[in-house]
Chains A and B, each alone.
Chain A
Amino acid sequence: MAGSAFGVSAARAAGTPIAGNTIPSAPRRVVAVDSRISLEMALALELPLVGYSHSRARPWVPVPAEVPFLAAPPDPEQILALAPDLILCPDTAPQSEWWPLEKMRRIAPVLTSDHRSHWRDNIERLAAALGRSGLLAPLLAEHAGRIDTIRRRHAQAISAHLVVAASYDPLKRRLNVRSGGTGYGFVMPAQVLTDLRGHAVGADKLGFYGEVALESFGSVLGDVDGILLIDMGGSALAALAREPLWQRLPAVSAGRVEIVAGNCVFGSFYTARYLAYAWEALFTRLNS
């Protein structure tokens, strides 16, 4: 189902005139509706941004200071007033107030993304629609080189170890493990780990959204060798550090936990780069 929705809207957005407009070959005013995927893709492809929505850009995403953070959820009237000639918007929930695809289509041509696909597919499709594949190629090559280097340098650790990326929810006292195949789809930590050919705990051992209750830490994470712990802010990690069942995990007592700051669950090129270094840091730990 995901695949077909993806394909159909891609063709419609890129190929047909919308609201009397076609995709501009050199857009001058671009709005990124989603601050993770849309925004990162726009920056990587050097599109001239006039605003973005959803949530504030994470520190590793190089947004120019003059690009404003718009109302969130996005306000169509505000976006219309910016007079964009291209809008980037996810097409996975066209009726939600966060990604109002149909309303966006009435303002300007829209190019879509789907967080359930690999970030590379999303950005390649966008670059092709805008005729910027040439601009993208060196970026992808740079990333592939980075992935290759890490894979070579840590070949032993990557193939031998079972790892997870996870964040902690202190209110519900559980870990949210960011493996592929949970309710969140193909999340970025899983995408980068897959590219590195690493092995993560499978979604079948986790809750629907990757949850692991505190009391199941031992049975689900007992054989994990390394943990990439995502720090979403607040006092979550301090609370986790106090839990005896966390301290007892072999990976934790052996010091094989790498903390990565900031919400890096969804994203594109910049988040992929950020995560590649984070995974590398973890595998370095596993080697030592």
Chain B
Amino acid sequence: MTPDRGSMSARSLACHLGLAIGCLGLAIAALGLGRTAFAPAAILQALAGESPAATRLVVVEWRLPRVAAALCAGAALGMAGALFQTLLRNPLGSPDVIGCDAGAFFGAILALLAGGSVAVVAAGAFSGGLAAGLLVYVAAGSARTAPSRLILIGIAVGAGLSALNDWLIMVAPLDTALVAASWRQGALAGVDPARLVLGIALLAPLLLLGLAGSRSLRTLELGDDKALSLGEPAGRSRLRLGLLGLGLTATATLIAGPVGFVALIAPQAARRLLGSPGLPLTASALFGALFLLASDCVARLAFAPRVLPVGAVTACLGGICFVLLLLGIRRREATP
């Protein structure tokens, strides 16, 4: 029943490569498509700084940050989803379900209301996400290893924070409320350059740490006892990976707002693509990036000139992915 290691890694390699190429191809397409379309050659010229000012403005200054934001936030959410879903051993245990992005957004919006700079808003997002995560963890108390209970508490925390966010947006001064409301929908169009640069700077080390944590994650999947026997102190690596997941979620929220369903879908889809037993970190990140970029392209182009919030599209596409996932489960059950 177990496939041999050789074919497994070949498939995995092909999938990773395919996802990476997909991201790159879609990124070039996203740079080229829009009200005015540009050929790939023109895009490369614009990126090299050898094109007319108007082309450069559209491709480099407007579309590139948007594409970069989608890729970065998507990768962060995909990896965070894989981390959380593995730690909680449940496909619903993703950071957006258990309220971490609502917490990060709460922190960010408080900082925004206080008139803080980009760095303060980032710090707000991190502390908010961290606080929400710790609240869930502490509240779960002694039974924090029981995933369904932790998720239940997470949903409670998330709904409470979400209500608080509604309240804050309702009482905020009109113009701040306008910014916060569109940020909340996951509007990549309004991505603030300073926020994006800071987000990317924060993201790079977090993604690397995540990749380095891949081995502990695989060990944890075997169960805490087995992990301990392999020399992996389960509690400590759990905490470490959980904090990493929170950091990734907060960064994604900082860049793109609390976009739902990416963290939920990406790990499950990546696992099915790879046919791997656990949730693969790198492939989840790549799939998350691809998924969010694709969603953003749909949001931007499908109903042009109307631009949809990307959160609406991830929800729709996420719903469809979930249906496929379900049908897969049903088929497997029907033919055991």
Which residues of A line the B interface, CB within 8 A? 70-71, 73, 75-78, 80-81, 92-93, 95-98, 100, 103, 106-107, 183-185, 208-209
Contact = CB atoms under 8 A, between A and B. Distances in A.
Given A80-B54, A96-B182, A106-B57, A75 B192 contact: no
Interface string B306-325: 11000000000000000000
- Give the interface centre of A70, A96, A103 by most chain B CB atoms within 10 Å: A96
Query: Chain A at the B interface: mostly helix, strand, loop or mixed?
Result: loop
Given A93-B176, A107-B57, A209-B174, 12 more contacts: A71-B305, A73-B189, A73-B307, A75-B35, A77-B35, A80-B57, A80-B58, A93-B175, A95-B190, A96-B175, A96-B178, A97-B187
Contact of A81 (B36, B173, B179, B190): B36
Contacts of A209: 174
B175 A92 contact: yes
Given A95-B190, A97-B187, A208-B171, A106 B178 contact: no
A96 B171 CA distance: 17
Nearest to B185: A97
A78 B179 contact: no
A183 B173 contact: yes
- Give the interface centre of B58, B175, B187 by most chain A CB atoms within 10 Å: B175
Q: How large is the interface on B (under 10, 10 to 19, 20 to 34, 35 or more residues)?
A: 20 to 34
A76 B62 contact: yes
A68 to B, nearest CB: 11
Contacts of A73: 189, 307
Contacts of B190: 95-97, 100
Interface of B: 34-36, 54, 57-58, 61-62, 171, 173-176, 178-179, 182, 187, 189-190, 192, 305-307
Contacts of B187: 97
B174 A185 contact: yes
B276 to A, nearest CB: 40
Contacts of B179: 93, 95-96
8 contacts: A75-B35, A75-B305, A77-B58, A78-B35, A80-B54, A80-B57, A107-B57, A183-B174
Contacts of B182: 96-97
A214 B34 CA distance: 48
A73 B306 CA distance: 8
B54 A75 contact: no
Contacts of B61: 106
A77 B306 CA distance: 13
B171 A98 contact: no
A78 B305 contact: yes
- Which 9 pairs show the lowest CB-CB distances between chains A and B? A71-B305, A93-B175, A77-B35, A96-B178, A97-B190, A96-B179, A92-B175, A95-B179, A97-B182
